[in-house]
Chains A and B, each alone.
Chain A
């Protein structure tokens, strides 16, 4: 079977943008066509990853609008919503479109416009994914993070500072990412003394609210060779779902969707966690970086904090995690985030990551929807 290649990528500047969602999507989409050297009429499938453009700004039907705006007509178009993992789900959909033979050229664009809403309003849009018994108590995703972080720290006797070190690391990485929302270093003291948001987590344990868009171009490997010598191959991609009601999980520190999607992606790629050279993890909250490291086999249960404390996940460490700055520093425009993770892995594999370039042949991205409710894990390898 022809393998699925990624031959181009783009992302807009993330942050507080004047543009609305359609303009953001078009900006990334056009840049991706240029980067891949693909003409609009060559696109056969268009996927648009977006969680809530209807709720945020009253704009629906974004796939059709973008298809027209980029002149990729009559390409098949589809919006992909899987909450915060919409981007990863878009990668899965794009991979399926090529692997099945349904398309020979698929454009994936993810984007969200959020910053025109107050923090409370944006938090409520995101919290609307919760079960009614959770929602009526005012449960939000940040509060899930606080509940889980306390349980993790108490159970494994991990130092509170180890979570803060995730924020410090990812902010430092974001300094070298021109697309990042925060290109600003923060020290441990700043993180530890920032205002409490969901005890024991503080402001700098959380990602910001963000506008932005990112895009990837997919095609069969046999077609990729007609466009470029430098491309990446999606060798593993899988998705899995955990309970909707978060407190029903047997172990609050285990995200079943991370474990299962990772296991399937490793099997598909015929790789082990030790083979991964660089990873983008969904650090919407610092505690999530620990849970994904453990769920994906990068650390034993309860020990991810030790690898962070040892500096092994720094950009010059044994396993660089979130070289892009992660959601924490780069920002988290919901539907764009999973695609932007793919952008970073692609850039690392083809040697286009600039000042944050690491030596990598295998990269992994884990995109988490809700509080581990839906998860997509993607493994890419550099083409030989």
Chain B
């Protein structure tokens, strides 16, 4: 399992990847963001969660610096004891929410991924 972002012709990086990237540029490679640390841009602790989601659910938008190119991601936090500007690292989790409990077909997407843990 990797946290795969796409790198495009113009040097930009997005997570997740897109068929066509920013400014109409084509994907030319991938970057595994799980190998990088990131900075917390903002966070929340959500108490009203849908079926199959832990309660409460601490979430953050974080920003990675990949060789001078910034790329953002969203994900669960391992703790709600976090501050804006704090450094975090991705930690692998086998199942982020119960695939059987929500409205989406369990087979329609993957359910593992990375939580962000303060460094």
Residues of A whose CB lies within 8 Å of any CB of B are 55, 119-121, 123-125, 127-128, 131-140, 142-143, 146-148, 150-151, 154, 195-201, 245-248, 252
Contact = CB atoms under 8 A, between A and B. Distances in A.
Given A143-B57, A147-B44, 9 more contacts: A132-B110, A143-B46, A146-B45, A146-B46, A150-B43, A150-B84, A154-B42, A247-B73, A252-B41
A136 B97 contact: yes
B16 A133 contact: yes
B47 A128 contact: no
A199 to B, nearest CB: 4
B50 A127 contact: yes
Contacts of B104: 128, 135
Contact of A138 (B14, B46, B109): B46
A137 B97 contact: yes
A128 B104 CA distance: 7
Contact of B103 (A124, A132, A146, A151): A124
A134 B97 contact: no
What 7 A-B pairs are tightest by C-beta distance, nearest first? A146-B44, A138-B53, A124-B50, A151-B42, A132-B109, A143-B46, A199-B45
B51 interface: yes
A136 B59 contact: no
Interface string B105-119: 000111101000000
Given A137-B75, A151-B42, A120 B49 contact: yes
B16 A198 contact: no
Contacts, number: 120
Contacts of A201: 44
Interface residues of B, number: 37
Contact of B96 (A138, A248, A252): A138
A68 B15 CA distance: 47
A137 B113 contact: yes
Contact of B61 (A135, A140, A195, A247): A247
Given A128-B103, A199-B45, A247 B72 contact: yes
Contacts of B48: 119-120, 123, 140, 142, 197-198
A171 B97 CA distance: 35
25 contacts: A120-B51, A121-B50, A123-B48, A124-B50, A133-B15, A133-B73, A133-B74, A133-B113, A136-B96, A137-B57, A137-B97, A139-B59, A140-B48, A140-B50, A142-B48, A143-B46, A147-B61, A147-B74, A148-B42, A154-B84, A245-B16, A246-B74, A248-B14, A248-B72, A252-B42
B108 to A, nearest CB: 8
A287 B14 CA distance: 26
A370 B103 CA distance: 17
